Structure 1
Amino acid sequence: MADRRSRPQLHPAAWWLWALGLGTAATRTTNPLLLALLLTVSAYVVTTCRPDTPWSRSYSAFLKLALAVLLIRLGFVVVLGSPVPGTHVLVTLPELPLPDWAQGIRLGGAVTAEGLLFACYDGLKLATLLVCVGAANALASPSRLLKTLPGALYETGVAVVVALTFAPHLIADVHRLRAARRLRGRPDRGVRGLLQVGLPVLEGALERSVALAAAMDARGYGRTADVPAPVRRTTAALTLGGLLGVCAGTYGLLTAAGGAYGVPVLLAGVAAAVAGLRLGGRRSPRTRYRPDRWTPRACLVAASGGTVAALLVVAASADPAALRPGVVPLTAPALPLWPAASVLLGLLPAFTHHRPRESS
């Protein structure tokens, strides 16, 4: 008999913070060895910790999307050329002459190894970022994530959750219908199979949309409580001022001249935005049944992703040549040891994950 006592589920925001930490680390480097290590870490954690739910199957779709992005980036370099000068010409394509007003743009011409390698590094960085977002989609329940949002962001959160759950349900419908067609001995590949699968998938999507609209209407979605006008104006001022402060503080942190005022302005903007969201929550009175709580394990998972991001940011400032290897001249990238060890900290959620054990 299975043990019905289960551990509390991990807070969905912890998975998103962990994934965004890995994604932030990916934006700080173009080293293919570090990016491959980030991909391996995210894949291992997803394989170990993801639940058996429709949205958890979307990770493979993000992997295919990341591969498509990488191939498109390489295709642009082959067709349109690269701004990186190179001497190792791999192939010379017929070049199409362009008018004078299109100076700086070319179609065809010489394809160099340096240009392809630079495009590969750049495309791999974007692909890794997409895979990290896919890991968050596969690990965190969108409906549980919606419950954790402040009341002021509830309507926006519903729209985002509906958009995020559309692709996983669509993929689940395609797998289910293709399996049913194979069991009946009917083709599930090619143009004919795609057309015969597409109509039931579209019908299922429309039925879910109608059911979702009816459920939202029955639950009073969009209804707001009356709040005094001064509270509404204060909420708008705090939220707008807080967002402007966050933008100004972030700009100060990214520029050398704004290092002195960046952190205070950023902290003040975050405080004002949080206060505005708390006040704005009065317009959307809601109750939560068994809300998710931040457990020590959730804090550990979120901290592991944040630590990876912070250490890679420090490494990018301390040794930029190691995290952004050059392509002119052609040299093999080296694996920096302590940034690689920092990326391995992202494996921590896999070792803190406990599957329910069965007892006789």
Structure 2
Amino acid sequence: MSTPAHPPRSPAPGPPRAGGAPADRPRSGRRLPRTLHPVAWWIWGIGLATAVSRTTNPLLLALVLAVLGWVVTERRTDAPWARGFRYYLGMALVVIALRVVFRCVFATGITPGDHILFHLPHIPTPSWYAGIQLGGPVSLEATLSSAIDGLRLACLLCCIGAANTLANPKRALRVLPGALYELGVAVTVSLSVAPQLVESAQRVNRARRLRADPAKGLRALRSIIIPVLEDALERSLHLAAAMDSRGYGRAGNATRTSRRITGALMLLGMLGLCTGVYGLLGGTAPRALGLPALLAGSLLCCAGLALGGRRVRRTSYRPDPWRAPEWIVAVCGCAAATVLFLTVGYDANDLNPTLYPLHWPSLPLLPAAAVLLAGGAGIAAPPPARTPSAARRPAATGTDTPEAQL
């Protein structure tokens, strides 16, 4: 009688390899999923917003929207608040529509050679309201100009929405300097309003489907808006209470003199930063005023942060790492802003094409390449950490609390 063969034993996990990599790390070369540093996403989003503010070319603006949509689709997490980018797109469409409607209603006159689309009833205005007329002829050039202006504002909104979708503002609060802790708490709570509303709307719609509610359209709005607002307000209050119980926003043992000096330094620094940015971005302001004011404001803000940070002592559990992917994502956003700001290597008129005479705008190659380079953040960023289905079940039932998310 033959003895049964014993199954081979699995080898014991070996010691870590050189460089700290464990022996059981997959050898396929794929990067392990992790959450990117939230500040990197905000730098990327602000860089793209700066690039958008420098152009009215509809082709470049459409390319920015395509890059934003692709990066958000590839690198957003599976959290409920991370699905809110489509709501920002809806707000962007509303902004464009309102801009066109206001331009058609509040007409400013017709120039020779305009292509008239239709006429609105003209409403006479008093003499003190001169310069603006209600109604009248609406031209194709004026409609396109208002649509492009609305598209630029919509792109700015989507840039901030993409950063808010990809980066968790609660995680960004942990890396703020101590002097900005009170302001950081207020900003964190305000930035979490939109994700909380999205998550609340998803839970209410899921509950309505489970109850087989037949109401649709405007009739269902009354049964949705009140529970959504109540749930979002309740969760925001829970978040504020949880943050206060953990010591967020505490003033510490600072004296009145140090607080006044810190406030004065921060106020003067912010004024210097605003003056410097206006001098650099404004077309009428002298360039010599921009850079010195920007440097002086930065120095004053750094001094205020250093002085105010002494009164807050805190530690951080498992701080978010800043590695090569964070640098690449931040550089991609800053590169797009730099290329469209310097206007070197291409015709600056291509960034703001004219509609007189009416013609199809040209796509400048260097700014388009810079915008596509910003899309490289979707490749450079590591894949997001997916939550197992067992961990997502409390979020589906609405039992997760803001205290557990901190």
- With the length of structure 1 as denominator, give the TM-score of the two structures: 0.91
Match status 1:278 vs 2:306: yes
Matches within 5 A, 1:238-277: 238-253=265-280, 254=282, 258-277=286-305
Query: Counterpart of 2:107?
Result: 81
Matches within 5 A, 1:177-256: 177-228=204-255, 231-253=258-280, 254=282
Task: Deviation per CA, 1:213-263: give whole Å up to 9, x if none.
Answer: 432342234432223555444423432332233233334434667333532
Query: Counterpart of 2:394?
Result: none
Task: Calculate percent identity across the aligned residue pairs.
Answer: 49
Query: Counterpart of 2:119?
Result: 92
Runs of 4+ residues over 6 Å off in structure 1: 2-5
* Superposed displacement of residue 3, structure 1: 8.2
Aligned mates of 1:289, 1:263 — CA distance in 2: 38
Aligned mates of 1:271, 1:44 — CA distance in 2: 37
Aligned mates of 1:195, 1:136 — CA distance in 2: 31
Instruction: Sort the Cα spacing of 1:252 and 1:147 in 2 relative to 1 into closer, same or farther, 3 A.
Output: same
Q: Is the 2:83–2:165 contact (alpha carbons within 8 Å) kept by the matching residues of 1?
A: yes
Match status 1:53 vs 2:79: yes
Match of residue 178, structure 2, among 151, 159, 164: 151
Instruction: Sort the Cα spacing of 1:84 and 1:353 in 2 relative to 1 into closer, same or farther, 3 A.
Output: farther
Query: Counterpart of 1:311?
Result: 339
Match status 1:353 vs 2:381: yes
Q: Give the secondary-structure state (helix, strand or coil) at the position aligned to 1:10.
A: coil
RMSD value over aligned CA atoms? 2.5
Task: Deviation per CA, 1:168-226: give whole Å up to 9, x if none.
Answer: 12112212221222233212522332212233223322432442343234223443222
Task: Deviation per CA, 1:280-326: give whole Å up to 9, x if none.
Answer: 12233222111223211101101100000110112389523211111
Match status 1:332 vs 2:360: yes
Q: Is the 1:239–1:276 contact (alpha carbons within 8 Å) kept by the matching residues of 2?
A: yes
Task: Deviation per CA, 1:103-122: give whole Å up to 9, x if none.
Answer: 11111110001111111111
Q: Is the 2:96–2:150 contact (alpha carbons within 8 Å) kept by the matching residues of 1?
A: yes
Aligned mates of 1:342, 1:210 — CA distance in 2: 42
Match of residue 135, structure 2, among 108, 115, 138: 108
Instruction: Sort the Cα spacing of 1:84 and 1:55 in 2 relative to 1 into closer, same or farther, 3 A.
Output: farther
Query: Counterpart of 1:172?
Result: 199
Bigger mean CA deviation after superposition, 48-57 or 184-193: 184-193
Tell me the amino acid that sits aligned with residue 195 of structure 2: P
Instruction: Sort the Cα spacing of 1:84 and 1:284 in 2 relative to 1 into closer, same or farther, 3 A.
Output: farther
Matches within 5 A, 1:9-28: 9-28=35-54
Instruction: Sort the Cα spacing of 1:262 and 1:353 in 2 relative to 1 into closer, same or farther, 3 A.
Output: closer
Aligned mates of 1:87, 1:282 — CA distance in 2: 63
Instruction: Sort the Cα spacing of 1:229 and 1:68 in 2 relative to 1 into closer, same or farther, 3 A.
Output: closer
Instruction: Sort the Cα spacing of 1:200 and 1:233 in 2 relative to 1 into closer, same or farther, 3 A.
Output: closer
Instruction: Sort the Cα spacing of 1:188 and 1:294 in 2 relative to 1 into closer, same or farther, 3 A.
Output: farther
Tell me the amino acid that sits aligned with residue 333 of structure 1: P
Aligned mates of 2:348, 2:150 — CA distance in 1: 19
Instruction: Sort the Cα spacing of 1:262 and 1:166 in 2 relative to 1 into closer, same or farther, 3 A.
Output: closer
Q: Give the secondary-structure state (helix, strand or coil) at the position aligned to 1:93.
A: strand
Matches within 5 A, 1:109-128: 109-128=136-155
- With the length of structure 2 as denominator, give the TM-score of the two structures: 0.81
Q: Is the 1:225–1:282 contact (alpha carbons within 8 Å) kept by the matching residues of 2?
A: no
Instruction: Sort the Cα spacing of 1:327 and 1:258 in 2 relative to 1 into closer, same or farther, 3 A.
Output: closer
Instruction: Sort the Cα spacing of 1:353 and 1:250 in 2 relative to 1 into closer, same or farther, 3 A.
Output: closer
Q: Give the secondary-structure state (helix, strand or coil) at the position aligned to 2:192.
A: helix
Match of residue 161, structure 1, among 188, 212, 224: 188
Instruction: Sort the Cα spacing of 1:351 and 1:162 in 2 relative to 1 into closer, same or farther, 3 A.
Output: same
Aligned mates of 2:109, 2:41 — CA distance in 1: 38
Instruction: Sort the Cα spacing of 1:276 and 1:64 in 2 relative to 1 into closer, same or farther, 3 A.
Output: same
Q: Give the secondary-structure state (helix, strand or coil) at the position aligned to 1:131.
A: helix
Tell me the amino acid that sits aligned with residue 287 of structure 2: G
How many residues in Structure 1 have an aligned counterpart in Structure 2?
357
Structure 2: gaps of 5 or more residues: 1-23, 387-406
Q: Is the 2:108–2:131 contact (alpha carbons within 8 Å) kept by the matching residues of 1?
A: no
Instruction: Sort the Cα spacing of 1:287 and 1:47 in 2 relative to 1 into closer, same or farther, 3 A.
Output: same
Bigger mean CA deviation after superposition, 316-325 or 85-94: 316-325
Aligned mates of 2:75, 2:235 — CA distance in 1: 28
Instruction: Sort the Cα spacing of 1:337 and 1:83 in 2 relative to 1 into closer, same or farther, 3 A.
Output: farther
Q: Is the 2:329–2:381 contact (alpha carbons within 8 Å) kept by the matching residues of 1?
A: no
Tell me the amino acid that sits aligned with residue 259 of structure 1: R
